Structure formats: C-alpha cells, structure tokens
Structure 1
Amino acid sequence: MKKGERLNQMLRFINQKQQFTLKDLMSEFQISKRTALRDIASLEDIGVPLYVEYGRYGGYRLVNSMTLPPISFTSQEVFALYFAMQVLQNFASTPFQISFRSIHEKFLEGVPADLRGQIENFRERVAFYPGEQTHECDYLEDLLLTAAQNNVIKIRYEAPKQTTIRWIQPIAIYAMKSWWYCQAYDLDKGAYRVFRCDRITALEIVNHEGAVDLKDVNLHNAQSLWQPTKQAVPFTCILTSEGVEIFNKEPYPSMEVVTENGIMYLKGTYEPAELHFMISYLAGFGKSIKIIDPVSLREQLKDYYLDVIDHL
C-alpha cells in the first residue's frame, strides 16, 4: 500500500477509534514500529490534532473529531467494485432492489476517464456465468433487515406439496446456485432451518413468546444450531477427493465430511419429506460417491439411474 493511501485510511481509523496505540496501528496496517512513528509524524504535519498520553496505559488520543476528506478508491478497488456489480446483475432479485442500469451509469460517471476506458475494455474480455436467477424474491430486503434487528416474522411458505404458516427468526441470507436462501431459527420446531426465499409469499413482523437471542449468531456459525427431528434418517456415504470438492461447492448444514482411517465419508441426516431432494442431490456426485447406509437410499438411487436410462 502506498503511503498516501495508508495515511488516508489511517485518518479514518483514528477518527473512529479516538484513542489508539502504536501497536493498534502496527496491527491494523501491518507496518513496523518505525513506519508507524513516521506516519504519526506525517499526520501531525498536516494538522491532525493528536495528544500523547505517557505511561503504562498511555497512547495517542485525538483531541477533536475531524472532517474527513472524500473517500477515494484505488484503481484495483474500482475494478473490484465494478466486477462485483456485474455478478449481481445475474439475479432477478437483490436486497434493496437497486437499478443496475442507474448504478452503472453513476459508477462510470464517477471514475476518472482513464479508468473508465479500462473498464469499457474489460467488458469485452471478462464475463461471469454464475447461473442466472430467474425466480423473483419479494422479501429479500425484509429478511436481511429482520436478521440484523433480531426480529421474529410470520411467513407464508409455498413448498412444492403444501403451504404452511411459519414463525421464524432470520439469521442471514445467501445465494447459491442461482437461488436465494434464508437461514433462520424456526420457532415452531425449535430448530435451525433453511428456507428458499422465492417460496416466501407473505411476511409480517410479529411479537412471539418463543423468541431467542440470536445477536451473536451469523452466517458462519449458524450451523451449530442445526438439530435433526426425531424422524430424520441418518446416512453415510464414502467420498472420493472429487466428491469432497463437489460437497464443498454445495454444502448443507445437515451434512459433513469426516475422515476415518484415511477414508472420507459424507455423513448426515435427511427428513423423510426430503427424500426426492436427497436422491437428486446424491446423483450429482456421479461416481465420486458410494452410499453405505441406509441400504434403502442406495436402492432408490439405483432406481433413479434406471429411470434416467429409460428416458434416454
């Protein structure tokens, strides 16, 4: 990182912290003590009002909050933002329902002419094919906001064979294989569940006695809440290294890869109503998977393959 860019970021860091130490700067910006001291001197030279507190618990304190300069981006950051924007265009629905045509025009107007030219050239040389999402999701913004605010919502959920009313606490939303999903705590079942967002056809924020504190639960640790029902069917499969890669591209909270005596297994549970999904999911592994238990699952996968052959 160039010194000018580092000082700009350091200004924002200091303005937010108000009080900091040399170790804070060294850790945040991955610089040496000598460089941190030189940067502080440079900040003081441009008028940043810093006060030094000596002693064991001393450090630097910002005397007054500053009016920060406008945010500036490096060329690499501009390109990264543009590429991220291009990927999102493949989704029929996004949180906050932004207009990509409008944001594209504003984005190009705001970058320097030389970068604008490079971006136009990139458009002819870079493409993203993550799989186009065609199903509208009417409540992505509401799901994201209620997740951030730890609210309980009442939803109407249109599953393939039935429509149900559910009371859930959203944890996070994510996109995978062109679908939006909502991780949530199901208050009726008292368990963690995942819902396909396009199947939520009505949503209402409500008060519920069974609400739980999910402030510390997020997209990365929500799997710890997963609990199978009493009717869930346990399964075990052997995986090749290719099979592990396939699973890592599309993992599910009810499954995990474990290694025992040098052999890699896919273990987990599925609900009886999820049998058709499981067969279709496991078929996607091809020769990289071998079902051990239950035998009935293996036989049903064989029937699936035979049915496919009959249709060739």
Structure 2
Amino acid sequence: MKKSERLNQMLRFINQKQQFTLQDLMQEFHISKRTALRDISSLEEIGAPIYAEYGRYGGYHLLNQMTLPPISFNSQEIYALYFAMQALRSFSNLPFQVSLHSIHEKFINALAEKQRQHIERIQDRVTFRHTEQIKESAHLETLLLAAIKNEVLKVSYQTMHQKSTRSIQPIAIYAMKGYWYCQAYDVTKKAYRVFRCDRITTVEITNIEPLIDLKEINVHNAHSLWKPSEKAIQFKCLINQDGVEHFQQQHFPSMKLITESESTYIVGSYEPTELEFIVNYIASFGKSIKIVEPNILRELLRKYYIDLLDNL
C-alpha cells in the first residue's frame, strides 16, 4: 500500500477510535514500529490534532474529530466495485429499490478518463452470465429492515396449494438460483423456517416481542436454529461426485453429507407436508443419486418419473 493511501486510511481509523496505541496501528496496517512513528509525524504535519500521553497506560489521543477528506479508490478497488455492480444486474428487485442504472451512471461519471477507458475495455473482455431473477419480490426492503431492527412481521404466505398467515421474525435475506429467500423464526410455530420472498404477498409490522436474540445469529449460521418436528421422516441417499457438487450448489438445513466406507451419502429429514419438495429435490440430482431409505420415498420418486413419461 502506498504511503499516501495508508495515511488516508489511518486518518479514518484514528478518527473512529479517538484513542489508540502504536500497537493498534502496527496490527491494523501491518507496519513496523518505526513506520508507525513516522506515519504519526506525517499526520501531525498535515494538521491531525494528535497528542501523546506517556506512562504505563499511555498512548495517543485525538483532541476532536476531524473533517475527513473524500474517500478515494485505487484502480484495483474501482475494478472490484464495477464487478460487484455487474453481479447485481440480474435482479429486478433489490433491497431499498435502488436504481442500479443510476448508480452505474454516477460511478462511471466519477472516474478519471483513463479509468473509464479501462472499464470500457473490461466490458469488452468479460461477460457475466447471471441466473435471471424468476419472480418479483415486493417486500425485500421491509423484510431486511425488520431483520436489522429485530421486529416481528405478520405476513401472508402463498404456496402452490394454500395461503396462510404467519408471524415471523426475519433474520436475513439471500438470493439463490433466481429467487430471494428470507431466513426467519416462525413465531407462530416456534421454529426456524426459510420463506420464498416472492410468495410473501402482504407484510405488516407488529408489536409482538421478538422471541430470539439476533446478536449472535446471522445469514451464515441461521440454519443452526432449525430443528425437525416429531413427525419428521428420516432419509438417506447414496451420491457420486457429481451428486456432491450438486449438493454443494443447493442444500437445506434439514440435510447434510456424511461418508461411510468411502461412500458419500446425503442424510436428513423432511416433514410429511414436504413430500413434493423432497421428491423434486432428489429428482434434480438425476443419475447421480440413489435412495437408500425410506422405501416410500423411492416409490414416490418412481411415480414422479412415471408421471413425467406419461406427459411426453
């Protein structure tokens, strides 16, 4: 990192901390003690109101918060931001209903001429193949804000067969294979659930007290809240390497991979109401999967393929 760039980041770092030590700077910016001392001198020269406090518990203090210079990005950071924007192009719905076209125009117009030319060359050299968003999700902003504010929502949820009203506490939202999903705690059923956002037709903020503390829960570990019901049916399927790759692309908290005698299996459970879901999911593996148990699941998959043949 160039010194000018490091000093710029250091200004923001100490402006946020207000009180810091040489060790803080050394760890944050991966620099030596000598370099940290030189950087502090450089910051003082450009007017940063820093004073030293000596003694066993000494360090550096900022007299008052500073007006910071505008954030600047190097060329590599600009390219990374451009790539990130391209990854959003396939979604017609985004939280907060931000206009991606507007952001793109402002981004391009803010670049230096040479950087703009490089971005144009990237457009001619890189293609982004997206999974297009399949259905509109009208309530992404409300769901995300509820997760941030730790609120409980009353929602109408429409599946293929029925419409229900739920009270849910959103945890996080994520996109996968053309759909938006909401990880949530179902207050009504006292269970962790994942909802397809496009199937949420109405949303209403409630005064219901949240049942779980989200401080330690995030989009990455929310599945740990999931627990099968007493009626859940256990299943086990043998898969080959193609099946492993398919599983890694799409799986659910009710299932996991295990290895036995050098063979790989999917083991898990499904609820009696999820027969259509589990059959469709297993069928998506094609020839890379073989049902070990239960027998009823094997029969349902066989019926599924017979029905497909009848429709040819």
Task: Identify the range of structure 1 (109-118 vs 285-294) with the bigger mean alpha-carbon deviation.
Answer: 285-294
- Residues 219-255 of structure 1: CA deviation (Å, up to 9, x unaligned): 1121111011222211122233332222121121111
User: Aligned partner of 2:254: which letter?
Assistant: S
Aligned runs of 1:1-312 on 2, under 5 Å?
1-209=1-209, 211-311=211-311
Encode CA deviations 1:78-110: one digit per residue, 9 max, x unaligned: 122122212212112111111222222111111
Task: Determine the C-alpha separation between the residues in 1 that align with 2:286 and 2:38.
Answer: 59
SS of corresponding position for 1:69: coil
2-structure distance, mates of 1:50, 1:216? 36
Deviation at 1:48, TM superposition (A): 1.6
Structure 1 unaligned residues grouped into runs of 5+: none
Task: Give per-residue Cα distances to partners, 1:121-151, cap 9 Å, x unaligned.
Answer: 2222222222100311111001110100000
Q: 1:38 to 1:239 in 2, by over 3 A?
A: farther
- Amino acid corresponding to residue 99 of structure 1 in structure 2: S
Preserved CA contact (<8 Å) 1:233 1:270: yes
Report if the CA contact (8 A) 2:174-2:180 is conserved: yes
Shift of 1:311: 4.8
CA distance in 2, matches of 1:148, 1:103: 24
For each residue in 1:231-283, what CA deviation from the matched residue of structure 2 results, as whole angstroms up to 9, or x when unmatched?
22111222333322221211211112233454332221112222222122122
What TM-score, normalized by structure 1, do the two folds share?
0.93
RMSD of Structure 2 on Structure 1 (CA): 1.8
Partners in 2 of 1:262 and 1:45 — Cα distance?
65
190-199 vs 279-288, greater mean Cα deviation:
279-288
Q: Measured at CA, do residues 149 and 37 of structure 1 come closer, stay the same or move farther in structure 2, by a change above 3 Å? A: same
8 A Cα contact 1:150 1:215, kept in partner: no
Structure 2 unaligned regions, length at least 5: none
Aligned amino acid, residue 207 of structure 2: N
Q: 1:260 and 1:266 mapped to 2: Cα distance?
A: 11
2:19 and 2:61 in contact (8 A); partners too: yes
CA distance in 1 between counterparts of 2:6 and 2:237 reads 51
Distance 1:38 1:284, change over 3 A: farther
Paired AA for residue 80 in structure 2: A
8 Å contact 1:52–1:61 — kept in the other structure? Answer: yes
Please tell me the residue identity of whatever aligns with 1:95. Answer: P
Asked if the contact 1:243/1:285 (under 8 Å) is kept, the reply is: yes
* Shift in CA distance, 146/55, structure 1 to aligned 2, threshold 3 Å: same
Secondary structure in 2 matching 1:66: coil
Percent sequence identity over matched residues?
60
After superposing the two structures, state which structure 1 stretch, 42-51 or 85-94, moved more.
Answer: 42-51
Distance 1:141 1:27 in 2: 37
Greater Cα shift, 247-256 or 300-309 = 300-309
TM-score by length of 2: 0.93
Count of matched residue pairs: 312
Cα pair 2:153 2:205 within 8 Å, conserved: yes
**SS state at 2:214 partner:** coil
1:310 Cα offset (Å):
4.9
1:209 Cα offset (Å): 4.8
Q: Does the CA-based 8 Å contact 1:130-1:177 persist in structure 2? A: no
Aligned with 2:129: secondary structure? Answer: coil
The answer as to whether partners of 2:158 and 2:199 remain within 8 angstroms in 1 is: yes
For 1:284, the aligned partner's letter is S
Deviates more, 1:118-127 or 1:297-306: 297-306
User: CA offsets, 1:142-184, max 9 Å, x none?
Assistant: 1110100000000001111000000000000000001000000
